[in-house]
């Protein structure tokens, strides 16, 4: 929550220094030209000010208002509606853990709890060194890669508490971090500039991590008669563990003596599709027909 | 039931070359008949293109299933106003994860579809409203649009046809409500994303109060294949009222989560059978056919045909075909509480039933989950959901009510158990992907 200020209204926000303003005005002109109506440029312009300041400052709001002939109140009303506009100074890396239902159940809640403890910060708080801002996020359209963590809106798929801790440690130590889908990380400000509509000019950024992610290819592989990837790749697909209609399913196995999730840091690198190899599954190859 | 092989059940079209090393490039797209559908469409009068897509029976893939060709037909012609196409790429419905991988791996299918659609509705400026939180996709869209301009598929006099089209990629800033088409238009106009009163519908007064078509990514991306391979080919898949192919997104406690492109009408049982089923040692408890806003199903519904009519007849909606599967380790109260927190967070605040109702649903659900609920709270939950459903300004409210109604219908005793035991009987650690990892690792290594 932001502080509610009562009483004396704030003085108008200071302007950007002349050289910064000139540079941003050139960018703003380019953004506004993309739209038949200038006000459509407001969301990209707010991204642009974040690329300068790292969050939406009063100076940034004033700049947007002046570019679009709006009041600062009108700009603020928009800036406060959308969750990607930061309201206060924050870290170079925005680490978002998906805790919407599916990711939460699959482990997102445990990952978020682990990171809060490891970093010593709460939701939407930043580490003292200014590197990492932690938050929980809503569904990011990658449910087949659950649990998902986003850093500066690049995908880190199939995470565990251990892998996520390693991730933030690497960010804090300044080591190069590569997402499972997306380009090598740039800072929050650089990301905000891409969001403002200026293409990422870094060589290799567009092609980084290749075509689709492994889960995206599951159906395509099966349609070609391939087995799904895993330690047993090459074996035919197994039959379902879904009971036929009418059959009483076996009682779920208990989960005594579960290992701590953190002990499995090594299991996070590969997509977790490997249970296709379940040796406990008594079903034979699906060979009734067509094989 | 006879098991049919995946080769016969699956029909990759949009996903057919996603494993190509450079699947997102124009070169790759052209090698797979890319922009051939556009060539055919540009040779046809615009009205014929609309009629063709209408005849093919393509229905919207964003959730509502409205016939795409009919949406195009509603655009008034000869009105002297600019017309706009806006593609809704604000994919944010919990569980939904089809448009983002599609745009990441094959962005040109959308661009080609947009050029065809704009030719049909006589629009010279189109927009892709992409949710902001997917920068890798934004990069590829920027690049694909650049390539398309360079190759003359966008810009002036496209492929010598005399048709001009500008395409603007627009990144949103984080708001689920902007997936609602009129909220999306307000957002694209630089305002808070709040839904508009209808009528007027976007086809009459949409973007900048001009006639506007708003279509989902997958709907538009399906158009080039229809133009290229023909409407009869398209109608040879699926059913009469739900023809064609579509992306099903399998997620949750399944062996092989992922994208499965199949004719409309495939069942969850078929998809699970071919892909390894529910994770070993567990069984399906509940699932959504099309995201959290579609009433949940249970293992009684494994054989429901996943098309618009089939899912509707079984009491839910096809939605976005986001098949989120949860096994018996999952607490349904926890799941519904989390979804409801999502709706409360994303409610835009414009109308009272949704703004206030979702807030109070969360208070009640949190108490029940924590073992502090009363049995009378269950009727209250139902009552509040009933006061949101159908009484809100837009479909977000209806979506918020869906998990409440459907979970109370199928799992009321589980709510009661939370209340009577004064706590949650489930161990969340048992639901995680790594819960069973210790044992299976040993077995795999053996």
Residue A3 has a pLDDT of 67
| Inter-chain residue contact B132 with A153, CB threshold 8 Å | yes
- Please list, in sequence order, all residues whose beta carbon lies within 8 angstroms of the beta carbon of residue A157, skipping any fewer than 6 positions away: A142, A145, A148, A180, A181, A213, A215, A271
Lowest mean pLDDT among A211-225, A226-240, B125-139, B193-207: A226-240
Q: With a cut of 70, say whether residue A287 has pLDDT above it.
A: no
Does the structure show a pLDDT above 50 at B388? yes
Answer whether residue B399 shows pLDDT above 70: yes
Give me the residue spans of the domains in chain A.
Answer: 12-89+188-205, 93-186
Q: Report the gap between the CA of A20 and the closest CA in chain B (Å).
A: 23
Write down the pLDDT at residue B293: 97
Q: What are the tens digits of pLDDT across the range A227-247?
A: 876 434 333 334 444 545 444
A57 pLDDT tier (thresholds 50, 70, 90): very high
Q: What is the mean pLDDT of residues A284-291?
A: 32
C-alpha torsion angle, residues B415, B421, B424, B426 (rounded to 10)? -100
Domain A93-186 classification at class level: alpha beta
B73 token code pair: 């037909």
Cα separations (Å) of B159 from B3, B27, B84, B214? 47, 17, 21, 25
Lookup: tokens for A78:
């928009």
Segment B337-347 shows an average pLDDT of 98
Greater pLDDT, A230 or A162: A162
pLDDT, average across residues B30-59: 98
> Is residue A251 a contact partner of residue B416, using CB atoms and an 8 Å limit?
no
CB contact B197 to A (< 8 Å): no
The DSSP result for B66-118, as a single string, is -BHHHHHHTS-SSSSS--EEEEEE---STT--SHHHHHHH-HHHHHHHHHHHH
Residue B132 has pLDDT above 80, yes or no: yes
* CA A267/CA A165 separation, integer angstroms: 14
On whether any CB of chain A is under 8 Å from the CB of B136, the answer is yes
pLDDT at residue B438, as a whole number: 66
Name the band, by pLDDT with cuts 50, 70 and 90, for residue B387: very high
Give residue B1's pLDDT band: very low, low, confident or very high (50, 70, 90): very low
User: Which residue do the tokens 């995680």 mark?
Assistant: B432
Question: Which of B24, B104, B259 comes nearest A218 by C-beta?
Answer: B259
* CA–CA min distance B176, chain A (Å): 9
What structural domains and CATH numbers belong to chain B?
A: 6-234 (3.40.50.11540), 240-326 (3.10.20.600), 332-430 (1.20.1440.230)
Q: Confidence band (pLDDT; 50, 70, 90) for A258?
A: very low
What pLDDT shows up at residue B444?
37
Task: Give ∠ CA B391-B95-B144 in degrees, rounded to 5.
Answer: 110
Burial of A118 (0-12, 13-18, 19+ CB in 10 A): middle
Q: What are phi and psi of B246, to 5 degrees?
A: -160, 165
Look at residue A285 and give its three-state secondary structure. strand
**Interfacial A residues in 142-161 facing B (CB < 8 Å):** 142-147, 150, 152-155, 158, 160
User: Residue with structure tokens 């593609």?
Assistant: B87
Nearest Cα neighbor of A182 from A207, A218, A164, A202 is A207
Which of A77, A84, A272 is the closest to B132 by Cβ? A84
Q: How far apart are CA B324 and CA B336, in angstroms?
A: 13
Look at A231 and B444 and tell me if their CB atoms are within 8 Å: yes
Architecture of the domain made up of A12-89+188-205 = Orthogonal Bundle (1.10)
A282 touches chain B (CB under 8 A): no
CA–CA separation, B176 vs B339, rounded Å? 13
- Give the best residue of B9, B189, B258 to mutate against chain A (max A CB count within 10 A): B258
Asked if pLDDT for residue B421 goes beyond 80, the answer is yes
Residues from chain B contacting residue A255 (CB–CB below 8 Å): 329, 427, 429-430, 435-436
Predicted pLDDT of residue A264: 37
Q: How many residues does chain B have?
A: 446
Quote the pLDDT of residue A185: 95
State how beta strands B297-298 and B322-327 pair: unpaired
Question: What are the pLDDT digits (tens) for B10-43?
Answer: 999 999 999 999 999 999 999 999 999 999 999 9
Per-residue pLDDT tens over the stretch B302-317: 999 999 999 999 999 9
Tokens of B351: 């109308």
The order of strands in the sheet holding B166-171 is B166-171, B125-130, B84-89, B212-216
Please determine, for residue B267, whether its predicted confidence score (pLDDT) is greater than 70. yes
- When the pLDDT of each residue in chain A is averaged and rounded to a whole number, the result is 83
pLDDT of residue A227: 83
Q: Residue B415: which H helix or E strand, with range?
A: helix B395-421
Extract the tokens encoding B446. 């053996």
pLDDT above 90 coverage of chain A, percent:
73
The answer, yes or no, to whether residue A155 has pLDDT greater than 50, is yes
pLDDT value at B320 more than 90: yes
pLDDT of residue A284: 33
- Minimum mean pLDDT range among A167-171, A235-239, B90-94: A235-239
B258 φ, ψ (degrees, to nearest 5): 155, -170
Contact B258 A215 (CB under 8 A): yes
**Cis status of the peptide bond prior to B199, with omega within 30 of 0:** yes
Give pLDDT, residue B439: 55
pLDDT at B342 over 60: yes
Q: With 0-12 CB in 10 A as exposed, 13-18 as middle and 19+ as buried, what is B113?
A: buried
List, for residues A74-129, the tens digit of each pLDDT value: 999 999 999 999 999 999 999 999 999 999 999 999 999 999 999 999 999 999 99
Note whether B203 and B181 are within 8 A (CB).
no
C-alpha neighbours within 13 Å on the C-beta side of residue B67 = 16
pLDDT digit string, tens, across residues A135-146? 999 999 999 999
**Chain A neighbours among B 164-193 (CB < 8 Å)?**
168-176, 187-193
Relative to beta strand A154-156, strand A149-151 is: antiparallel
Q: What is the mean pLDDT of chain B?
A: 96
* Contacting residues for B12 by C-beta, under 8 A, at least 6 apart: A219, A220, A223, B261
Burial class (CB in 10 A: 0-12, 13-18, 19+), B395: middle
């Amino acid at each position: 929550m932001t502080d509610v200020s009562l009483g004396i209204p704030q003085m108008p926000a200071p302007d950007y220094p002349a050289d910064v303003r000139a540079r941003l005005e050139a960018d703003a002109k380019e953004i506004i030209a993309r739209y038949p109506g200038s006000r459509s440029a407001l969301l990209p312009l707010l991204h642009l000010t974040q690329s300068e300041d790292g969050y939406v400052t009063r100076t940034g709001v004033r700049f947007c208002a002046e570019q679009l002939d709006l009041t600062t109140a009108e700009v603020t009303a928009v800036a406060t509606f959308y969750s990607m506009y930061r309201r206060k100074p924050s870290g170079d890396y925005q680490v978002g853990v998906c805790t919407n239902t599916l990711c939460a159940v699959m482990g997102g809640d445990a990952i978020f709890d682990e990171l809060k403890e490891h970093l010593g910060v709460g939701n939407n708080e930043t580490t003292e060194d200014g590197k990492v801002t932690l938050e929980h996020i809503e569904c990011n359209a990658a449910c087949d890669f659950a649990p998902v963590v986003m850093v500066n809106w690049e995908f880190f798929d199939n995470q565990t508490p251990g892998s996520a801790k390693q991730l933030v440690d690497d960010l804090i130590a300044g080591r190069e971090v590569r997402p499972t889908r997306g380009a090598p990380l740039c800072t929050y400000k650089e990301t905000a500039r891409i969001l403002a509509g200026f293409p990422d000019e870094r060589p290799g950024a567009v092609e980084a991590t290749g075509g689709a992610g492994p889960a995206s290819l599951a159906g395509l592989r099966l349609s070609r008669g391939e087995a799904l990837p895993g330690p047993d790749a090459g074996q035919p697909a197994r039959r379902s563990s879904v009971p036929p209609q009418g059959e009483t399913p076996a009682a779920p196995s208990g989960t005594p003596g579960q290992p701590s999730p953190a002990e499995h840091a090594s299991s996070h690198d590969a997509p977790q599709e490997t249970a296709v190899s379940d040796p406990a599954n008594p079903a034979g190859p699906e060979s009734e027909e067509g094989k | 039931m006879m098991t049919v092989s995946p080769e016969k059940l699956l029909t990759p079209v949009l996903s057919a070359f996603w494993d190509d090393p450079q699947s997102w490039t124009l070169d790759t797209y052209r090698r797979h008949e890319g922009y051939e559908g556009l060539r055919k469409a540009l040779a046809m009068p615009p009205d014929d293109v609309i009629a063709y897509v209408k005849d093919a029976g393509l229905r919207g893939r964003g959730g509502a299933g409205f016939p795409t060709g009919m949406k195009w037909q509603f655009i008034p012609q000869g009105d002297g106003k600019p017309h706009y196409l806006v593609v809704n790429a604000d994919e944010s419905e919990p569980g939904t994860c089809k448009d983002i991988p599609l745009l990441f791996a094959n962005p040109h299918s959308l661009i080609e579809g947009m050029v065809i659609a704009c030719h049909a509705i006589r629009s010279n400026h189109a927009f892709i409203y992409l949710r902001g939180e997917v920068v890798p996709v934004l990069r590829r869209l920027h690049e694909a649009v650049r390539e398309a301009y360079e190759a003359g598929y966008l810009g002036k006099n496209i492929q010598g046809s005399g048709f001009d089209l500008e395409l603007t990629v627009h990144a949103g800033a984080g708001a689920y409500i902007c997936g609602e088409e009129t909220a999306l238009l307000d957002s694209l106009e630089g305002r808070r994303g709040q839904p508009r009163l209808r009528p007027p519908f976007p086809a009459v007064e949409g973007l900048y109060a001009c006639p506007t078509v708003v279509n989902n990514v997958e709907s538009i991306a399906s158009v080039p294949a229809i133009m290229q391979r023909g409407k009869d080919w398209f109608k040879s898949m699926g059913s009469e009222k739900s023809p064609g192919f579509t992306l099903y997104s399998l997620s949750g406690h399944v062996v092989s989560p992922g994208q499965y492109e199949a004719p409309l009408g495939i069942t969850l049982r078929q998809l699970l059978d071919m892909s390894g089923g529910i994770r070993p040692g567990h069984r399906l408890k509940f699932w959504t056919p099309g995201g959290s806003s579609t009433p949940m199903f249970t293992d009684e519904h494994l054989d429901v045909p996943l098309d618009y009519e089939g899912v509707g007849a079984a009491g839910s909606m096809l939605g976005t075909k986001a098949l989120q599967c949860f096994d018996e380790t999952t607490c349904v109260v926890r799941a519904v509480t989390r979804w409801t927190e999502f709706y409360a967070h994303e409610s835009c605040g414009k109308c009272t039933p949704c703004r206030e109702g979702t807030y109070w649903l969360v208070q009640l659900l949190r108490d029940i989950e924590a073992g502090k609920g009363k049995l009378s709270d269950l009727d209250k939950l139902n009552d509040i959901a009933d006061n949101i459903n159908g009484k809100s300004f837009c479909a977000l409210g209806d979506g918020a009510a869906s998990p409440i109604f459907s979970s109370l219908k199928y799992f009321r005793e589980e709510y009661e158990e939370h209340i009577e035991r004064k706590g949650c009987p489930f161990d969340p650690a048992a639901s995680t992907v790594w819960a069973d990892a210790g044992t299976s690792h040993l077995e795999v290594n053996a």
